[in-house]
Structure 1
Amino acid sequence: MRFAIKTRPEHTSWNELRDVWVAADDIELFESAWNWDHFYPLTGDTVGGPNFEGWTMLAALASVTRRIRLGCQVSGMPYRHPAVLANMAATIDVISQGRLEVGLGAGWHQRECDAYGIELPPLRERFDRFDEGVQVIIGLLSRESTDFEGKHFRLTDARCEPKPVQRPHPPIVIGGRGPNRTLRSVARWAQQWNCLVSGPADWLPLKEMLLVRCDELGRDPADIVCSVNVIIDPDAGIGPAVEKVAALREAGVDMVVLNLPHRAKPAVLEPLAEALAPLA
């Protein structure tokens, strides 16, 4: 099993976040590190409060780390035109020397969309836009020029230079658990699928549905890394989280993303890595 960490960029300081990522960079067990792509905090006072923007943070974190892979889990497609996001991703992949994971999702946070005047369409249209957006991003990251004629996005001889270091493009990570649209998109385009589940009994039916979607599209499911998030309860310590990881490992999950307690200190990482090492 493979391991990653995730930090919440809300109600915290840049120094605290940076120090945790720099410390994780020195622990080989942790393959990647993730933040989220929101403009409002998701806990506490959601009307206000500090919450760092995810993609500019990734650029900064790429410059202070050397090994660990990095990404947003996941970037909301409604927030940026996919051509703009593709250029951002290419730049960060260059800055990180080929360590970016491109996390993508259809979006869901109605409150921040309403606040900023960002359109969040009904689900069907939202996923139509998502599917087109993924194609736009892959095209720009992998081809010299891209022409695309969709209902929502249109590109004409569009270019993204410089290209990312990773070829044909950085891995596409699609987040979500919808059995129809989300898992079909995963089967079509993703190198990693990520979701939040309560445990193996919750995850296994989703994995079975992914196998169905892969069969429908002729995709080898072995080409898709299946990752899930496990939240570490600061009051309970790391023990229950490690037990959940062990159960998910037995169920066939490829990678677990440990959601660190809010404002966690770098010192939490070494004990966590030691507890997880027998499961690697």
Structure 2
Amino acid sequence: MRFAIKTRPEHTTWERIRDVWIAADDFEIFESAWNWDHFYPLSGDPAGSNLEAWSMLAALAQATRRIRIGCQVSGMIYRHPALLANIAASVDIISAGRLELGVGAGWNQQECDAYGIELPPLKERFDRFDEGVQAIIGLLTQEQTTFQGQYVKLTEAFCEPKPVQRPHPPIVIGGKGPNRTLRAVAKWAQQWNAITESPEQWRELKEVLVTRCAEVGRDPAEITCSVNVRIDPAEPLERAAETAAAYGNAGVDLIVMNLPLDAGPEVLEPLAKVLA
């Protein structure tokens, strides 16, 4: 069982998040650090501050040296897949090959309505997501990419320079839909991230993933399984560590510890100790 941290870029400052990630870089127990891809806060006042995901990752890549970095997860509806591929390649280069490329179909109706971003019906959204993932992989791995999907069309497209990691940064797909999401995980992901209510619910989903892998001829052992565990600032850290241990016993590979809102670097040392 391995560990990561996640910082919520809402109602906080760039300096606060930067200092947490720099501090986490010094604790070997944390293998990766994550943010999220939203434009509005998900709690409290929607007019509050919320830092943009990918520009943060580029800066955090420069501020850190060891820890792997990623967005959990980047909404495919927010950026054309070709744009996201170019951004990801650049961030992987800036980080010297430490990027985890997290992607999801997208879901936030409030943000889409406010910004005039189309949020298609669920089936179309996942059709677009499937095409987008394939287009991104093509751009990151092929000298030129031609892709003629229903929604994504590339014609002899370049994406240069290529990322440091080959064939491409690990694809992390987030979600728990048993049909479309877990089928996409089985086809293309190197990591599957889920937010579940309990280890029992996670086990049920993992069984579905194993079935989806069998359907496409994929070894499920090739896919890192990660879950998020939220730290409640009103409870002792030991409570979150117990939850993490329960997921580890269920078979989860990577536990992402969601730090309390506006947490500072001082939370990391006690957290590292209880997890160890």
Q: TM-score range by the shorter chain?
A: over 0.9
Inter-partner Cα distance in structure 1 for 2:179 and 2:136: 22
1:43-79 CA-to-partner distances (Å, cap 9, x unmatched) read: 0012x11100000000000001000000100000000
The answer to whether structure 1 residue 245 and structure 2 residue 244 are counterparts is yes
Cα distance, 1:201 vs structure 2: 1.1
Counting only pairs closer than 5 Å after superposition, residues 47-66 of structure 1 correspond to structure 2 as 48-66=47-65
Match of 1:179 in 2: 178
Cα distance, 1:199 vs structure 2: 1.5
1:110-158 CA-to-partner distances (Å, cap 9, x unmatched) read: 0000000000000000000000000010000011110000000100110
1:3-41 CA-to-partner distances (Å, cap 9, x unmatched) read: 000000011011100000000001011000000000000
Match of 2:30 in 1: 30
Match of 1:190 in 2: 189
Partner of 1:193: helix, strand, or coil? Answer: strand
Cα distance, 1:271 vs structure 2: 1.0
In structure 2, what residue type is equivalent to 1:20?
V
Match of 2:80 in 1: 81
Match of 2:9 in 1: 9
Match of 1:45 in 2: 45
Match of 2:119 in 1: 120
Extract unaligned runs of 5+ from structure 1. Answer: none
1:163-196 CA-to-partner distances (Å, cap 9, x unmatched) read: 0000000000000000000000000000000010
The answer to whether structure 1 residue 95 and structure 2 residue 131 are counterparts is no
Match of 1:163 in 2: 162
Find runs of 4+ consecutive structure 1 residues off by over 3 angstroms: none
Match of 2:209 in 1: 210
Inter-partner Cα distance in structure 2 for 1:213 and 1:229: 22
Match of 1:151 in 2: 150
Q: TM-score, normalised by structure 2?
A: 0.99
Match of 2:256 in 1: 257
Partner of 2:34: helix, strand, or coil? Answer: strand
Match of 1:139 in 2: 138
Partner of 1:229: helix, strand, or coil? Answer: strand
Partner of 1:245: helix, strand, or coil? Answer: helix
Partner of 1:155: helix, strand, or coil? Answer: strand
What is the aligned-residue identity percentage? 70
Cα distance, 1:265 vs structure 2: 1.3
Extract unaligned runs of 5+ from structure 2. Answer: none
Inter-partner Cα distance in structure 2 for 1:104 and 1:151: 20
Inter-partner Cα distance in structure 2 for 1:256 and 1:169: 23
Cα distance, 1:237 vs structure 2: 2.6
Q: State the Cα RMSD in Å.
A: 0.5
1:186-222 CA-to-partner distances (Å, cap 9, x unmatched) read: 0000000001011111111000000000000000000
